[in-house]
Structure 1
Amino acid sequence: MSDTQTLIENRPPSVAALFLERVAATPDAEAYRYPVPSASSEGPDDWKSLSWTQAADRVYAIAAGLIELGVQPEQRVALASSTRVEWILADLGIMCAGAATTTVYPQTNAEESAFILADSESKVLIAEDAAQLAKARDKRGDLPELTHVVVIDPVGVESSEWVLTLAELETRGAAYLEKNPDLVKEKVGAITKEQLATLIYTSGTTGRPKGVRLPHDNWSYMAKAIAATGLVGQEDVQYLWLPLAHVFGKVLTSGQIEVGHVTAVDGRVDKIIENLPVVQPTYMAAVPRIFEKVYNGVAAKARAGGGAKYKIFQWAAGVSREYAKATQDNFRRTGTASAPFGLSAKHKVADALVYAKIREAFGGNLRACVSGSAALAPEIGFFFAGAGIHILEGYGLTESSAASFVNPGEAYRTGTVGKPLPGTEVRIADDGEILLRGPGIMEGYHGLPEKTAEVLESDGWFHTGDIGELSPDGYLRITDRKKDLIKTSGGKYIAPAEVEGQFKAVCPYVSNILVHGADRNFCTALISLDEPSILGWAADNGLSGKSYAEVVAAPATVELIDGYVKTLNEGLQRWQTIKKFKLLPRDLDIEHGELTPSLKLKRPVVEREYKHLIDEMYAGSREV
């Protein structure tokens, strides 16, 4: 048996057990960093640290506090909060109590929050602040199981028999531990691998969310498998801003506990650019939208610098893509990431002029980024790869505990999601669907045996709903969602995500694009633009002072985007080309239900919302 197999097969039953092991192994090492807003609203945040022992003191107090509130093993404790260090401490506290975490996105409205709390039969809710508390209070009559709400940020919150602060819970828990010092060790020791650890409700693109049941063994396996990839080590510093209510963010906390590196936690997306030079991470996980925004921002800044600067940027972008493709291809063939002499010389010049500044903006120490949750446009991936920001694409679903595939370090291949994690099996069905099997696969959907049976076979194979292909040496490429494939009225199949990804690489102003064409005789697109980028362009093109809606309605803007659509079409098959498009009066967002919290497009919602624009584009065509 290999060392990797031994590591994975001899895993403990829970991440709670791994946490106790980590605290014992490196008690004084730094575990977490977190921001504390400075006294001056203008000044930068102060960053504080917790050692593993300090984190454990709080985790055990939370666990004991929940037990004192009457929480029993496998009972659900809901967490409705943005990404912050208290989220991690609370989640670990819930697990160390033997209970299970129900994750709730803080953006979820009161009605859907109430559905999740009721469906999961959550006994306690740990809410971030008064706004999250209000959602539960408004629906209290529909939540007979909910006995207490614990509030992390107590501003504007009055304690009562039903409501207490996290500080109060920890104080009560610490007092309870004094009388029962072995309580947490006993509770963790009693956890079995089959016990429920987490209930994550898929935001989904249609209908009510489904609760995905992930037992303790899923997370213990993920922790060991992530460590076994060798991608992260104890000296690493992770910058964690992803939503922890999402499986992608949550899995990163398991891997960190096993490896023992530092994690800097701050979920404020608007602070990413400011935080990177402060945190100076060695690795960071993100969704493609973040890389797209950085790319658009760099391009817009170059354009604002004048024609000469923009030409240098365009030249450097071309060199970076060419260099990345050459080095990856050479590594595949020879095991050495080298490029021809002439290209290397150009790359060195471009590095001094452009790439070094980009790396500096990421903090200067970044070894690699992991990208997941949706497809990254290959041309954007190649751009960053050539600039020295190595984006390792990965793949997984809520139902597979997030990390099923990841690109293997130096041998990464842009445009693929890499190879399966150790212990995960994959096969491609006859219709191209990706099937997965292994210790990361969910137990099933909560209270929905029929839905579970639709995707989970009796022999353990899980139907992902994604279409993909495997290279002879095991790299997976995702081509589309099975249900998202478009079949035109002419009988041609089109993968909209592929066309959308290509457009994002071509047009530096795009924020979101939806390609439509099912049962139609040609394809159209709904396009929303990145507000800062397009307003920057507008200021230089006679539209200064106009609102976003006015800018996108201007004929000059439509003409600008039309040029990029024509460029896109040049690289597509005839039946894939975008014949018509409409610019949306505002960007798509989570608040209007058009994007999931992990920034995936909800196609049915967008198509329903903008049906009038789609109908306009097909009006007068032969099919109408």
Structure 2
Amino acid sequence: MNIAEFLNKNVKRFPQKASVGFKKNNEWKELTWARFQKTVFKTANALAEAGVQKDDKVAIFADNSPEWMMMDLATLCLGAVTVPIYSTNGTEQVEYIINHAEPKIILAGNEEQYDICHELLSKSQNVELIISAKSSFKLKDKSITLQDFIENTSDKFYIVERTNEDVATIIYTSGTSGIPKGVMITHGNFQDTFDKHVKFFNFKNFEGEHSLAFLPLSHVFERSWTLFCFSQGAKVSFLENPKLIASALVEVRPTTMCSVPRFYQKIYAGIHEMLSAASPIKKKIFAWAIENGSQVSELKRNQQDVPFLLNQKYKIANALVFNKIKTKLGGRLWFMPCGGASISEEVTKFFDAMGIHITVGYGMTETTATVTAFPFTKYKYGSAGKLLGDSQIKIGENNEILVKGSGIMKGYYKNPEETAKVFTEDGWMKTGDAGIFDNEGNLTITDRIKDLMKTSNGKYIAPQPIENMFSNNSYINQIMLIAEDKPFVSALIVPNFETLEEKLKTLSVTFTNWKEVVENEKVQKFYQELIDGIQSNVSSFEKIKKFILMPADFEIQNGEITPTLKIKRNIVLQKYSDKIDTIYNK
């Protein structure tokens, strides 16, 4: 079955119910299922008239928006293949994907994205038309606005039948190293993933939920989650600029949302930073609230009743402390899938204590996202949860996690060599992640195998758990450990510039520019003491001996981090090799 069939199903069930939310002229608006379906069908007819046929490619290079999803679903309705491109990609990355995937048509979002696409027209023999999602700037040749593209087309359309083996999308991995590979995900991969979630979580009346899509739709996590929400009839609101997430949460008040660990780490660090400046009585109240909240969450996790007196204390803790934090998150969030990187046990427990449960999970682009996840109860802190559906895991050489199941990709597009490398002879897919699988069926990720570092003294360092420990601090925004073939561990540290700027006052340091500030002796001493305190219980060979404070954030646009905010170690090591050399040559 074509996964886009949910359009017809939902229009029959609740035609006037809201399906899509979006912000226009500073006001949140919505489309009903009937209106949404008609616009998707008009787009599908326009694509067909433009020559797009079954198995042809249509690329999308845009930020999150209803237009993004309309083009995606219209492409799927036709039996064609969607090729998402990260909205933050530069010209070189976009050129690689366009030349490799050979799309006939590209949907461009803003003017900058449109200009990149148009610049590449002369270098591509396949792209016939660029469609602009916006009408606010002037277009050049071989271009048309989406509004004009679909204006005179019919809203009647018969969705093309597809089989489980037919490719629905090719997602190019942003990976922390190497050339992007086009992951082929089929209609069957998506549908089986949806079915697994329904069965695993046993959702009731999910059509009443409201998700906020703020992670990039070009990433498998947000894309799969959004399509799952739609498949169940839920409403999805699209946030174009993820930097506006704080205000959007209050305005949209979603009930569900997928996110990455960094989102929760920042909230955790921010709360503790505010707490450090609070009065002694407020600190005591907060500690009391967390203590009671932890007792309640532990009982609920183990499916045990909460005693009356403890429940009354928890209600007071909610009124005095927790509700204020929940209100800043919109006040209605209850289901929050979290993946893309590891998250510390400390952060997960902290949110649980406040009654904000994070559903930790594990998956990859190649597995159509989720392989394991926390169930609602009996989950194990520090793990990545239990298997969903028919997913299977076994631990191979070097503790590598091997996976089988209906969510596994068809292969890498036009890349049989890399496809062969990732599969064993008996059909297990190598994930590149190291982990352990306990007797109760909980998967714990220990690290990326390729990220494991061996010092020149022969000691192995797993960076992620150590980096998470530091990232939970309010004065550290990003950190990358360095140890491979080195005599000791060092780090590149990006400060949280907002909290550091406040700290400068107490350090009696005058702000000039960030380069001078991070090199200031008092700031260096402050971070040295901070680091020593955080790693007091870390083994001596894992401790950071030296560090460099960076004057600016690692950026997606500079190719230094992935869209899920993971640092691209190889890129950063190469880019800042001179800085790193100074650490070891002093």
TM-score, normalised to structure 2, is: 0.94
Cα deviation, residue 354, structure 1: 3.0
1:163 aligns with 2:136: no
Partner of 1:454: 421
Matching of residue 279 in structure 1 with residue 252 in structure 2? yes
Cα drift, residue 289 of structure 1 = 1.5
User: 1:364-443 counterparts in 2 under 5 A?
Assistant: 364-443=331-410
| 1:75–1:122 Cα contact (<8 Å) kept | yes
1:577 is aligned to 543
Whole-Å separation in 2 of the counterparts to 1:314 and 1:575: 36
1:176-232 per-position Cα deviation (integer Å, ceiling 9, x unaligned) = x5xxx4xx32x42x3222111101100112232111111111111122222222357
Q: Within 5 A, what are the aligned runs for 1:2-81?
A: 13-37=1-25, 45-81=26-62
Change (3 A) 1:482 1:341: farther
Relative to structure 1, the CA distance from residue 351 to residue 547 in structure 2 (aligned partners, 3 Å threshold; closer, same or farther) is: farther
User: Is 1:564 equivalent to 2:530 in the alignment?
Assistant: yes
* Residue 606 (structure 1) shift: 1.3
Amino acid at match of 1:197: A
Return the alpha-carbon distance in structure 1 between the equivalents of residues 510 and 313 of structure 2. Answer: 37
Superimposed CA distance per residue, residues 219-269 of structure 1 (whole angstroms, 9 cap, x where no aligned partner):
111222222223572221111111000001100122112221111211312
Q: Taking structure 1 as reference, are residues 318 and 508 closer, same or farther at Cα in structure 2, changes over 3 Å only?
A: farther
CA distance in 1, matches of 2:396, 2:313: 44
Residue 449 of structure 2 is aligned with which of 482, 487, 500? 482
Counterpart for residue 115 of structure 1: 96
Return the offset for 1:105: 0.9
State the distance in 1 between where 2:203 and 2:471 align.
28
* TM-fit CA distance, 1:324: 6.4
1:299 aligns with 2:272: yes
CA distance in 1, matches of 2:292, 2:408: 38
The correspondence for 1:548, drawn from 493, 497, 514, is 514
CA contact (8 A) 1:220 1:254 kept: no
- Does the alignment pair 1:465 with 2:432? yes
| Structure 1 equivalent of residue 187 of structure 2 | 216
Distance across 1 between alignment mates of 2:485 and 2:403: 31
* Partners of 2:292 and 2:384 in 1: CA distance: 20
| Counterpart for residue 475 of structure 2 | 509
Distance in structure 1 (CA, Å) of the matches to 2:516 and 2:353: 37
CA RMSD of aligned residues (A): 2.3
1:107 alignment partner, SS class: coil
- AA aligned to 1:137 is H
Q: Determine which of 167, 173, 176 is the counterpart of 1:205.
A: 176
SS of residue paired to 1:88 = helix
Q: CA deviation at 1:539?
A: 3.6
Partner Cα separation in structure 2 for residue 133 and residue 606 of structure 1 = 29
| Matches of 1:543 and 1:350, distance apart in 2 | 39
For 1:3, the equivalent position in structure 2 comes to: none
Instruction: Name the amino acid aligned to 2:369.
Output: A
Q: Is the 8 A contact 2:297 2:355 kept in 1?
A: no
Cα distance in 2 for partners of 1:318, 1:456 equals 51
Q: Partner amino acid for 2:84?
A: T
CA distance in 2, matches of 1:437, 1:237: 32
Q: Partner residue of 1:42?
A: none
Q: Does 1:235 align with 2:215?
A: no
- 1:141 Cα deviation (Å)? 1.9
2:85–2:172 CA contact under 8 A, matched in 1: yes
Aligned-partner SS, 2:508: coil
Structure 2 CA distance for partners of 1:538 and 1:352, relative to 1, 3 Å? farther
- Paired residue for 1:361, among 325, 328, 332? 328
AA aligned to 1:35 is: K
Query: What displacement does 1:381 show?
Result: 2.0
Q: Structure 1 CA distance, aligned partners of 2:138 and 2:478?
A: 38
Query: Does the C-alpha gap of structure 1 residues 314 and 124 become closer, same or farther in structure 2, counting only changes over 3 Å?
Result: farther
Cα deviation for residue 20 of structure 1 reads 2.4
Separation of aligned partners in 2, 1:225 and 1:27: 26
Moved more, 546-555 or 62-71: 546-555
| Cα displacement string for residues 321-340 of structure 1 (whole angstroms, at most 9, x for unaligned residues) | x56665565556x5227599
1:416-466 per-residue CA deviation (whole Å, 9 max, x = no partner) reads 221122121111214211111111111111111010011123543111100
- One-letter amino acid of the structure 2 residue matched with residue 335 of structure 1: Q
Partner of 2:164: 193
Q: Please give the alpha-carbon distance, in whole angstroms, between the structure 1 residues aligned to 2:270 and 2:284.
A: 13
Residues 476/339 of structure 1: CA separation in 2 closer, same or farther (3 Å cut): farther
Partners of 1:349 and 1:397 in 2: how far apart? 41
Letter in 1 for 2:245: I
Q: CA deviation at 1:348?
A: 6.0
Are the counterparts in 1 of residues 293 and 314 from structure 2 also a CA contact under 8 Å? no
TM-aligned CA deviation for residue 385 of structure 1: 1.7
Contact 1:129–1:154 (Cα < 8 Å) also in 2: no
Q: Classify 1:586/1:129 alpha carbon distance in 2 versus 1 (closer, same or farther; 3 Å).
A: closer
How far off its partner does 1:549 sit?
2.8
Cα distance change, pair 436–173 in 1 and its aligned pair in 2 (3 A): farther
Q: CA deviation at 1:616?
A: 2.1
In the alignment, the residues of structure 2 paired with residue 224 and residue 214 of structure 1 have an alpha-carbon distance, to the nearest angstrom, of: 16
Give the % identical residues. Answer: 31
Partners in 2 of 1:259 and 1:435 — Cα distance?
A: 30
Q: Give the alignment partner of residue 572 of structure 2, picking from 599, 606, 616.
A: 606
Relative to 1, partners in 2 of residues 1:224 and 1:19: Cα closer, same or farther, differing over 3 Å? farther
> Aligned in 2, Cα 1:537/1:351: closer, same or farther, shift over 3 Å?
farther
Q: Secondary structure at the match of 1:409?
A: coil
Q: Structure 1's 388 and 546: CA in aligned 2 closer, same or farther, altered over 3 A?
A: farther
Mark the CA change 1:337 to 1:284 in structure 2 (over 3 Å): closer, same or farther.
farther
Structure 2 alignment gaps of length 5 or more: none
Distance (whole Å) between structure 1 residues aligned to residue 146 and residue 103 of structure 2: 17
Alpha-carbon distance in 2 for matches of 1:399, 1:538:
45
- 1:8 match: none
Q: Distance in 2 between matches of 1:345 and 1:192?
A: 54
* CA shift for structure 1 position 607: 1.4
Contact 2:296 2:314 in 1 (8 A): no
Deviates more, 1:574-583 or 1:347-356: 347-356
2:304 to 336, 341, 348: 336
Structure 1 counterpart SS, 2:390:
coil
What does residue range 64-143 of structure 1 map to in structure 2 within 5 Å?
Answer: 64-143=45-124
The Cα offsets for residues 40-79 of structure 1, whole Å up to 9 and x where unpaired, read as xxxxx21111111111000001111101000011110000
Gaps of 5+ in 1: 1-12, 38-44
Q: Letter of the aligned partner of 2:391 in structure 1?
A: T
In the alignment, the residues of structure 1 paired with residue 284 and residue 132 of structure 2 have an alpha-carbon distance, to the nearest angstrom, of: 50
Name which of 286, 303, 311 aligns with 1:316. 286
Judge conservation of contact 1:223–1:257 (CA < 8 Å) in 2.
no
Tell me the distance in 1 between the aligned counterparts of 2:79 and 2:320.
54
Aligned length: 584
